[in-house]
Amino acid sequence: MANNVLNYKGYSTRVEFSAEDKLLFGKIEGIVDLVNFQSETLDGVEAAFHEAVEDYLAFCKDLGKEPNKVYRGSFNVRVQPSIHRELDRAAARHGISMNQFVEDALVRAVEAEKVRAPYQKAVASANLESERVRLAWNATSETEGNIVQFPVQSYAVN
């Protein structure tokens, strides 16, 4: 799994690639304004993102404005009618509103993501190394007719 998300000073971005322009680019997420950055190199894209964040924070300070996006605490979610019905039933079984049931589920999902995130890069790296070993083994043993099964690595978050 590729990780194209960068974080700096509490801000994040998803780096994208334009084949037409041969550029890596992104925008600072979670802010009111639109702040873009770009780079022609992998090494330069992180520096460009950091510079964009620093410039934006300085700009906001000069204007005396709050740089972060203000979240109201409400948003619309569209789901299939069958899911809507099941949410309503599940909330009723727990004696809470459907809104509270969904909020509780979202809190659990966000907390699980916080726990899982530090391990995702390590797992991706370990899986890549396992694939390299598997390919090396196949390259040397195909002519000998050896078949080897490698276990799939996984992890669980409780």
pLDDT of residue 135: 61
In this structure, are residues 57 and 96 in contact, taking their beta carbons and an 8 Å threshold?
no
pLDDT of residue 52: 96
pLDDT of residue 53: 95
Crossing angle between the packed helical segments 98-141 and 81-94, to the nearest 10 degrees: 120
pLDDT of residue 141: 47
pLDDT of residue 134: 61
Q: DSSP per residue over the chain, as a string?
A: ----EEEETTEEEE-EEETTTTEEEEE-BSBSS--EEEESSHHHHHHHHHHHHHHHHHHHHHHT---BPPP-S-------HHHHHHHHHHHHHHTS-HHHHHHHHHHHHHHHHHHHHHHHHHHHHHHHHHHHHHHHHHHHHGGGT---PPPPP-----
> Along the 158 residues of the chain, how does pLDDT read in single tens digits?
357 889 999 899 999 999 999 999 999 998 889 999 999 998 899 999 999 999 999 999 999 988 887 677 888 889 999 999 999 999 999 999 999 999 999 999 888 888 876 666 666 666 666 666 666 555 554 444 544 444 444 444 54
pLDDT of residue 148: 46
pLDDT of residue 10: 87
Stated pTM of the model: 0.52
